[in-house]
Amino acid sequence: MRKLFSVICLFAFFNPTFAQENSGRQLCGLTGENMKGIRQQVKENILMLKKQGKLQFRQQDIDIARQTALLEPQAPISIRFIWPLRPKNAEDYRYYHIGNYTDLDSTGNACVRDYNGGRRTYDGHQGIDIGVGPYSWARKKAGDVHVVAAAAGIIVERHDGEFDGNCDWDNITGTTNRGNHVVILHADDSTVTFYMHLKTNSVTSKQVGDQVQAGEYLGAVASSGRSTGPHLHFQVNTSWSDPDDDKGTFVEPFSGSFNYTSSVSLWSNQKPYNEPGIYAMETHLGSMDYYTANCDSSVNLNSLHNSFQPNQVVNMRTHLLDWVDGSQVSFGLLRPDGSAVGTVAGLTNTCSYLTPVCGNNSVGVACRLFLLTGSYTLPSDAQQGTWTYWVNFNNNITHHYFTVDCLATQSFSGTQGGHRGYIVSNTITSTASISSNSNNDITYKADNYVLLSPGFVATQGCTFTANTRGCVNGN
């Protein structure tokens, strides 16, 4: 069995205190060996559908596949994929991270190698594991990360009803290793994609033989089958044209120098190997709750708070993804009038990543998940209104807002610009204009309602968000 080791990254920039954070890298037991049963089922279903004359792809999908084959004849398949996950609701931050790629090490021993020459995989893994976060079990419970078809096709296998809270490697619950899943055969009549570990009773009501479009809902991310935490196992197999003879071989869709299965990217828009970003920015009242929920236990995050009083301590925490060599991070606080707080104390960070299984891990070393924390004691005369907690990670600035003496109402007119947020406990009314500038990023949050009256304009290029989670409900 593989083991996870936590390793601490040292950042010269900070004077850190270290604490262990869970790695966020879920284990998935779907090796080629463990996929045998489902491949057999897929084979039988394809043969059955062919016999019944039900494998009729849409002509436009067949045409796209033919066109792709002409454009990139060196590719192993003529299907291109969109990202197989989509958040159910609008998200302020990143909602996923890639835990494992396919294992492209062919030496036959216990070594591993991903498409980039790194070791973000495990021995015999034939798919891509995409984790969700930063609170994976809370997301699993909410079912708020949806799995979607990566390309158009026909469902050739589906299964639902299995327990979806597996976390104990030695005690997997369910009638199969594979959990709840959907498998799609695509319009080249050769490529199949597998979507594994889905949430109980979340699987699409469509049945084997039904058509799906690219981006169509298939289920929600969970931890059914051989899995130790919520993630999607997405797998691409090819050579199913004549499944009686060939049960399919796996293909790694990411293009990179160590991918011997494909010389081109099979994504319509390939994501980078390292994708630095922010999972969440938070403020806490009192000592911060750490998310220690393993398995499907309830999540205790009672310290999360967006509304403060003078003299209280504001504890700040940001969950960062993919720290690589050369990354830079800084943060600070702005008062409601825009002035900066001079010193924010108590910085801590934590970092975990997978230690190489063997060999020299010189490629792709990164801290996958780590925390940046700080605290600030509000003075007795702290300014009333909305404060801004900002983090600059590799020149991308992200903001989180909290209030001091939550205002009841606020109204705006004229021009608003820059990165600004407003939180009130009752209503926000606005006739303001936000011009077409990507630096203009304005957020309105009110407990009761946000009223945009005639005259309000938000032009293309700006970012405007309004919601009704204000300083009381948003705590």
Half-sphere exposure of 190 (CA within 13 A, CB side): 15
Q: Out of 30, 46, 149, 183, name the contact with Zn ion by CB under 5 A.
A: 30
- Of the chain, the end-to-end C-alpha distance in Å amounts to 42
> CB–CB of 449/470 below 8 Å?
no
Stretch in the footprint of Zn ion (CB under 5 A) among 27-35, 83-91, 145-153, 201-209: 27-35
> CB–CB of 146/88 below 8 Å?
yes
Distance separating alpha carbons of residues 433 and 36, to the nearest angstrom? 59
Total of residues contacting Zn ion (CB under 5 A)? 5
C-alpha dihedral over 331, 337, 342, 348, to 10 degrees?
A: -30
Stretch in the footprint of Zn ion (CB under 5 A) among 30-38, 90-98, 215-223, 431-439: 30-38
Measured between alpha carbons, how far is residue 298 from residues 87, 137, 302, 367 in Å? Answer: 21, 8, 12, 27
Cβ 221 to Zn ion shortest distance, Å: 12
Judged by beta carbon, residue 43 or residue 233, the one nearer Zn ion is: 233
Cβ 241 to Zn ion shortest distance, Å: 25
Residues in contact with Zn ion, shown as a per-residue x/- string from 321 to 360 under the rule CB under 5 A: ----------------------------------------
Q: Out of 9, 28, 147, 150, name the contact with Zn ion by CB under 5 A.
A: 28
Amino acid making up residue 121:
T
- Please tell me what DSSP assigns to residue 260: T
Q: Tell me the two tokens of residue 122.
A: 């495990």
Residue 323: its H or E element: strand 313-323
Cβ 120 to Zn ion shortest distance, Å: 12
Of 317, 325, 321, 314, residue with least CA distance to 352: 321
Stretch in the footprint of Zn ion (CB under 5 A) among 28-36, 208-216, 243-251, 303-311: 28-36
Which residue reads 């960070």 in tokens?
349
Q: For 50, list phi and psi in degrees, rounded to 5.
A: -65, -45
Judged by beta carbon, residue 229 or residue 474, the one nearer Zn ion is: 229
Which residue reads 């989180």 in tokens?
400
Judged by beta carbon, residue 28 or residue 333, the one nearer Zn ion is: 28
CB contact set of 268 (below 8 Å; sequence gap of 6+): 80, 81, 82
Judged by beta carbon, residue 196 or residue 280, the one nearer Zn ion is: 196
Interface with Zn ion in residues 173-202 (CB under 5 A) = none
Residues in contact with Zn ion, shown as a per-residue x/- string from 231 to 250 under the rule CB under 5 A: --x-----------------
Measured between alpha carbons, how far is residue 349 from residues 13, 21, 282, 301, 355 in Å? Answer: 11, 10, 15, 19, 19
Q: For 248, list phi and psi in degrees, rounded to 5.
A: 95, 145
Cβ 100 to Zn ion shortest distance, Å: 6
Judged by beta carbon, residue 235 or residue 388, the one nearer Zn ion is: 235
Nearest residue to Zn ion, scored by beta-carbon proximity: 28
Cβ 214 to Zn ion shortest distance, Å: 22
Residues in contact with Zn ion, shown as a per-residue x/- string from 126 to 155 under the rule CB under 5 A: -x-x--------------------------
Stretch in the footprint of Zn ion (CB under 5 A) among 14-22, 73-81, 226-234, 236-244: 226-234
Stretch in the footprint of Zn ion (CB under 5 A) among 65-73, 79-87, 123-131, 171-179: 123-131
Of 80, 82, 113, 145, residue with least CA distance to 271: 82
DSSP β-bridge partners for residue 327: none
- Please tell me what DSSP assigns to residue 156: E
Judged by beta carbon, residue 229 or residue 276, the one nearer Zn ion is: 229
User: Does 84 contact Zn ion by CB under 5 A?
Assistant: no
Stretch in the footprint of Zn ion (CB under 5 A) among 121-129, 251-259, 358-366, 406-414: 121-129
- Please tell me what DSSP assigns to residue 223: B
Judged by beta carbon, residue 30 or residue 151, the one nearer Zn ion is: 30
DSSP β-bridge partners for residue 333: 389
Cβ 156 to Zn ion shortest distance, Å: 20
Binding site for Zn ion (CB under 5 A): 28, 30, 127, 129, 233
